[in-house]
Chain A
Amino acid sequence: MPITEILPRAIAIPPMLRPDGAGAAVRARNLGRSFAGNRVLADLDLEVRPGEFLSIVGKSGCGKSTLLRLIAGLDQPSSGSIGVDGLPADRAGDRLRIMFQEPRLLPWATIAGNVAVGLRRGPDPEAVAEALASVQLADKADFWPAQLSGGQRQRAALARALVSHPGLLLLDEPLGALDALTRLTMQNLIRDMHDRAGFTAVLVTHDVAEAVALSDRIIVLGQGGILKETAILRVGPTRRGSPELAAIEAEILDAIFAA
């Protein structure tokens, strides 16, 4: 049985059926970032459309994580500007959420308590329960993070990121530490949530197959800027491992290695 049949993917909902204005737009202009005189990003222009799923790939140290941290407002650019819906990232509030490579759950809070961290305006048990149900963790609400598996913890982190219905979800290699099967399940979950909620997603990953499976567009980062840009048109359910996707994957890998 091919793996796509074990792990069915929801049919992508056409953008016009999505709730209006659900996704935020990201715009970077002449973006630069140097660390101790070492230019990691230089004069980078990037635009992410509302509701788009964009992946950033590239070699280690190509600046993909730096770019994500700049979008998140966790780091400030050395030059140029970056904005989420026209606002600086640190003013985007709960419109912008980030998922890290580690779950980063508070060990002293229950899973429900951890999801509630994502809510700005006080506790809201209903919203928390809904978010937990959407990642299939409803029965784990009162567990401590230490009692969950790695995949479950990362799902709890996803629920925390999405409980406030953000317009932009930033993903910093969130599946890198998971085993291969759990990773596939998580990929489907993330893409499903994206298709249903309509948020904009920016994923940083070193796994090109993952980027191809999830994204509408992939950019290859290197030498401080964008080396290659590939749009992936999705009509109906995409089969993992189809010849078209394999060709795209090979093309992107070539671009990465050519850098």
Chain B
Amino acid sequence: MSLAETLKVQRLAGWRPSLPQPAALLPYAVPAAILVLWEIAGAAGLIADTVMPRPSAILATAVRMTASGELLNHLGVSATRALAGLAVGGGIGFALGIANGVSRRSELLTDATLQMIRNIPHLALIPLVILWFGIGEGAKLFLVALGVFFPIYLNTLHGIRNVDPQLIEMGRAYGMNGRTLFRRIVLPGALPSIFVGLRYGLGIMWLTLIVAETLSASSGLGYMAMQAREFMILDVVVLAILLYAALGKLADTLTRALERRALKWSPAYANH
């Protein structure tokens, strides 16, 4: 292939040349600038520490609470709840998505019910959930699992429904049946959509957990923030909020990395 042709193929396939090194730092410029301005404004007395503590104070609090082990304890509890909820809700969503994507009968049986439940905001169930489960782990697990379930269910179902029928026909013509067809064509074909569901699910996972922990818990990041509010320890409140942002971003970054590995065949990921 000539160079011109190669370039053409690459352009058609949506490839971009990789950015030079300094440009890779570009996404961090705005957050860094905000931190610097915030610190300066606090030091100059433009923002009262009782309204919004300075980044340096928050950092000091983070170091202190990490040293005492308190922070890691809350973090660990929250992460365990989040992952347990993701595993349960995501697992059920994935399984039902596949079942309903493959079997018409299964879809007829369950999809209408699921669509009905989907229209209830899951956080509206909090009063009921507290009555059912108290403020124990069951309540958090239930809410997170319910929140994560729908994006993963819907996107798995959508992914399987949208696998190229021509590829399925090819698979059948080449002697694939049931299990092989699913493993080699249906599942890989649905994977991009399943990843979209996973990333949506992760966002909902954190949101649900924060709300649930804020309303009813005796440990975890949300509890830590609510306790600090009671005693007006503002730097801990802000620290908790920043940690949520960092955890959300971490989860998203990990998923993206996983996505790039699993979908490296796709032109959309070819040059990352």
Contacts and interface: CB of A to CB of B under 8 A. Distances in A.
A28 to B, nearest CB: 19
B265 interface: yes
A228 interface: no
B5 A106 contact: no
Contact of B175 (A72, A94, A102, A109): A94
Interface in A93-137: 93-94, 97-98, 100, 102, 104, 106-109, 117-118, 120
Given A146-B13, A149-B9, A107 B265 contact: yes
Interface string B108-141: 0000000000000000000000000000000000
Interface of A: 72-74, 93-94, 97-98, 100, 102, 104, 106-109, 117-118, 120, 144-149, 160
A109 B5 contact: no
Contacts of A100: 166, 170
Contact of B167 (A94, A106, A146): A106
B184 interface: yes
B72 interface: no
In the A-B complex, the 6 residue pairs with the smallest Cβ-Cβ separation, listed nearest first, are A104-B170, A108-B188, A108-B265, A146-B267, A144-B265, A98-B173
**Chain B, interface SS category:** helix
B82 interface: no
Given A120-B175, A146-B270, A74 B265 contact: no
Contacts of B265: 107-109, 144-146
Contacts of A93: 175
Interface string B172-193: 1111000000001100110100
A120 B174 CA distance: 8
Contact of B184 (A102, A106, A148): A106
Nearest to B168: A104
B1 interface: yes
Most buried by A among B172, B188, B265: B265
B70 interface: no
B166 A102 contact: yes
Contacts of A97: 174
Interface string B197-224: 0000000000000000000000000000
A190 B144 CA distance: 58
B13 A106 contact: no
Contact of B188 (A106, A120, A148): A106
Interface in B1-56: 1, 5, 9, 13
A104 B170 CA distance: 7
B188 A74 contact: no
Interface of B: 1, 5, 9, 13, 166-167, 169-175, 184-185, 188-189, 191, 263-267, 270
A237 to B, nearest CB: 30
B167 A117 contact: no
A146 B170 contact: no
A165 B170 CA distance: 18
B169 A74 contact: yes
Given A108-B188, A118-B174, A147 B9 contact: yes
Nearest to A148: B9
Contacts of A94: 175
Contacts of A118: 174
Contacts of A146: 13, 265-267, 270
A27 to B, nearest CB: 20
A35 B185 CA distance: 29
A145 B263 CA distance: 13
Nearest to B8: A149
Nearest to A72: B173
Given A100-B170, A104-B166, A106-B167, 6 more contacts: A74-B172, A109-B184, A144-B270, A146-B267, A147-B270, A148-B9
A205 to B, nearest CB: 19
Given A120-B175, A146-B13, A146-B267, A106 B185 contact: yes
Contacts of B169: 74, 104
15 contacts: A74-B169, A93-B175, A98-B173, A100-B166, A104-B166, A106-B167, A108-B263, A108-B265, A117-B171, A117-B174, A118-B174, A120-B175, A146-B266, A146-B270, A149-B1
Nearest to A103: B170
